[in-house]
Structure 1
Amino acid sequence: MSKISALNLIRKPDVMTLGIELPLDNDWSPEGLARARATGRPHGVADLSSQTDLIRRADALGFAAVWARDVPVFDQVNMGDAGSVYDVFTLLGFLAGVTRHMALGTAAVVLPIRHPLLMAKAAASVDALSGGRLLLGVASGDRPVEYPLLGLDFDGRGERFREAVGYMRQAWQPGGLPVDGRRDPTLHILPRPAQASIPLIVAGQARQDDAWLAANMEGRFVYPGNLEKLSLQTKAWSDATAHKGVFISAFHLDLLEDPNASAQPIRFGARLGRKALVQHFGALARAGVDHIAINLRQSSRPPAEVIEELASDVMPRLGKIPAIHAA
């Protein structure tokens, strides 16, 4: 059986790893908003013109993962955010071919709106194409417009989430697909995943209790929060999973040119210089955070500059900070 695990790409015993959350632009900065207006691009639709080159560069520089969101419908009025724009599995299949090292994560697939057989097929395909680098982030969804468009019941999404998890787990294993409560040995999902079991990372609560999540998920992905809140969350997750569960948080970053600039809060993150960022990330590592997915949409500087500085001056300084809850 394969011993490959994409979890090992983001969880290290002596370092908190960094990843990039897509789309990889800075369209939520004042400069980015001005560019969008000048080109007539709708607010909330990302500028993807440099994204592929930036992802290649991040992969070469040692970023541990790239994360793509699942936004099937651009709800321009109520949400105003088109997410990663492309279908998430089409995008990750493409990225499997243009990256070599980083994990490919979904943050997160809205599991109840997709048929679990087709979900299992799509995930297995990305995992096989990438050589076992898929981290399947899953959620129950917080955009009610998607459910009626697909003729699905929004209130029943918690039960559908649990059923889909159980189905995919079986579909990825030898022995045949589940049919009417039994395995049919003549029906199979191809390709087989490169990993023995594709890791599932829950985003949010997914309408489940903590005990079920701890028993059925390999990782947890949370919104940014203050240090006290994150410490409580990491400890609860670590205890519930016997120190085996991976803990991930996002962070919206505006990295200023002045390395000595103090931190100022922005939505879901901070505007600060390099020294304050290293100090903050060190505190997160000591609190038990294994991996940070950095979002640059509010960056006042070009993403290419920030990626280079993070790789040269931030990531090397995270290598000696143990995450106290890491396995």
Structure 2
Amino acid sequence: MIIKLVAVPYLPAMTRNSALDLIRKPDRLTLGLELPLDNDWSPAGEARRTEQGRPPGVPDLSRQTELIRWADDLGFSAVWLRDVPVFDRVNMGDAGSVYDVFTLLGFLAGQTRNIALGTAAVVLPIRHPLMTAKAAASVDALSGGRLILGVASGDRPVEYPLLGLDFETRGEAFREAVAYLRAAWQPGGLPVNGERMAGLDLLPRPDQPSIPLVVAGQARQDDAWLAANMDGRFVYPGSVERMAAQVARWRAATTGPGAFISAFHLDLLDDAAAPAEPIRFGARVGRNGLIAHLQALVAAGVDHLALNLRQSARPPVEIIEELASDVIPALATKPKAHAA
């Protein structure tokens, strides 16, 4: 018996230099989705959480895999995961995506074909860099070179004493981890006490020549160090004017290369013409206003936006469908500059 396999189209790693090429396009802004994919921060979501008996801060993951596969088929450029090792009910009240970040990345590598897999962000100082290098290389190889490793120094002080680590030296530990990752992903021996040790190699090799590192926040580093050592920046949501200034500083420091990424909390209304109303880290807005805002971000120089749907009144499935059918096509080309 001959079984005919139906190929799912995707962008092979050999046709691009970096997973950043999946989210950084010369002619348009790209959109991604930030996990978890629920609307638990809306009144309807809160009512559902109470009915299901989930503690506050623990997301509804019942449809997440299905929605990610669908987003992959619909043309979203990335899915973003956060690194939340411990559910701190008292100080943070947010369990993130619940699963270990690298375990979930490996699972999603087998569930998707096109979409970039991004972290926003792995806290480098609380993990041994050898194990981080191994886990990241494994995800990159399994996904065909689709990993974007967002990294940070961490802003949850409770995690450091739990692991017996010094919170105050996390900036130095972050720099050391970055240097280790860069060396470990290349042939020539693993770093041991600052030297490359021949005969010790990390397997698997990443599918990409080097896994792109994108810094979330400042990671207790100055702009010059970040520009020299990072492949992109992931900044907190802000106004168009603030983001334009951040992009300008980043482009000047890096002489152009590197992705500039931000996030946006979206409550997309049924009424396409509904004006924008600010919410925490984003807006409640109709489709037309959202497109206008996204086009303003394009003009500001933003490459990619990760959308968080947790505050949305409508179910995420409806919003994902509208974004794919009406918003992503509207971003296919950069808006023309107005004549003076």
TM-score where L is the length of structure 2: 0.94
Q: Is residue 2:286 matched to residue 1:244?
A: no
- Output the amino acid matched with 1:162: R
* CA positional deviation for 1:12: 0.2
Match of 1:162 in 2: 175
Counterparts of residues 213-292 of structure 1 (less than 5 Å): 213-292=226-305
CA spacing shift, 1:199–1:322, aligned 2, 3 Å: farther
Correspondence for 2:130 among 106, 114, 117: 117
Q: Is the 8 A contact 1:140 1:207 kept in 2?
A: yes
Match of 2:306 in 1: 293
Q: Is residue 2:318 matched to residue 1:309?
A: no
Correspondence for 1:138 among 112, 131, 151: 151
RMSD: 1.3
Q: Is residue 2:205 matched to residue 1:192?
A: yes
* CA positional deviation for 1:245: 1.4
For structure 1, which runs of at least 5 residues remain unmatched after alignment? none
CA displacement, residues 52-72 of structure 1 (integer Å, 9 cap, x when unaligned) = 000000000000000000000
Between Structure 1 and Structure 2, how many residues are aligned? Answer: 324
CA displacement, residues 268-313 of structure 1 (integer Å, 9 cap, x when unaligned) = 0000000000000000110000000000000100000100100010
* CA positional deviation for 1:179: 1.1
* CA positional deviation for 1:4: 3.5
Match of 2:64 in 1: 51
Q: Is residue 2:98 matched to residue 1:98?
A: no
CA displacement, residues 173-221 of structure 1 (integer Å, 9 cap, x when unaligned) = 0101011221111001100000000000000000000000000000000
Match of 2:3 in 1: none
SS at match of 1:155: helix
Q: Is residue 2:195 matched to residue 1:147?
A: no
Q: Distance in 1 between matches of 2:281 and 2:201?
A: 42
Q: Distance in 1 between matches of 2:128 and 2:138?
A: 15
Match of 1:71 in 2: 84
Q: Is residue 2:39 matched to residue 1:39?
A: no
Match of 2:140 in 1: 127
SS at match of 1:90: helix
- Output the amino acid matched with 1:158: G
- Output the amino acid matched with 2:274: A
Tell which deviates more after alignment, 173-182 or 147-156.
173-182
- Output the amino acid matched with 2:200: L
Q: Distance in 1 between matches of 2:199 and 2:38?
A: 46
Q: Distance in 2 between matches of 1:283 and 1:262?
A: 15
Match of 1:171 in 2: 184
Correspondence for 2:42 among 18, 29, 41: 29
Q: Is the 8 A contact 1:286 1:323 kept in 2?
A: no
- Output the amino acid matched with 1:69: R
* CA positional deviation for 1:323: 11
